[in-house]
Amino acid sequence: MGEPRGDHTDFPFAGALVCARALWALGEDLDAAAIGRQQGYFQVSKTWSGRYAEQAGCAESGEGASARALRDRFHGLATSLASRWVEAFVQEANARYADAWRKDHDSRGIIDKIEDALTHYDFDQPRPTRPPTPLPPTFAITAHLPTY
């Protein structure tokens, strides 16, 4: 199978999912505020008429569209950050596996190395697997980095 390889990452694992939750919540708060403003406009528009009522309706429509677009961007950033968390997790887990493999392989005696050459070296630790992507709105941790 050959020597495993991997570079360590400097990714902020603990803070990334906290940030993803905050971005998602910010999008939800923005959406709730926009809905509240829309409901307020609808209440007022029942008794309000004229040029200013039309201008307010146009402004509310534009505000609502902007709020939805921002909400979608915040949600997109949050889910993208969760995907990056998975990619960094895989990279770091593979690097840790490679370090453990190398340490174990290098610590073997001459008899073990001759046996390895004849039968193939077999590291007794499982290779890391790809964790599921954390999902909104909680973005809960789906795996822990392995320790060997």
DSSP string, 16-58: HHHHHHHHHHHHHHHHHHHHHHHHHHHHHHTT--SHHHHHHHH
Average pLDDT in the chain: 89
What does pTM read for this prediction? Answer: 0.80
Cis peptide before 137 (omega within 30 of 0): yes
Segments in the chain below pLDDT 70? 1-2
**pLDDT number for residue 15:** 96
Tens of pLDDT, residues 124-146: 899 999 999 999 999 999 999 99
**pLDDT number for residue 92:** 96
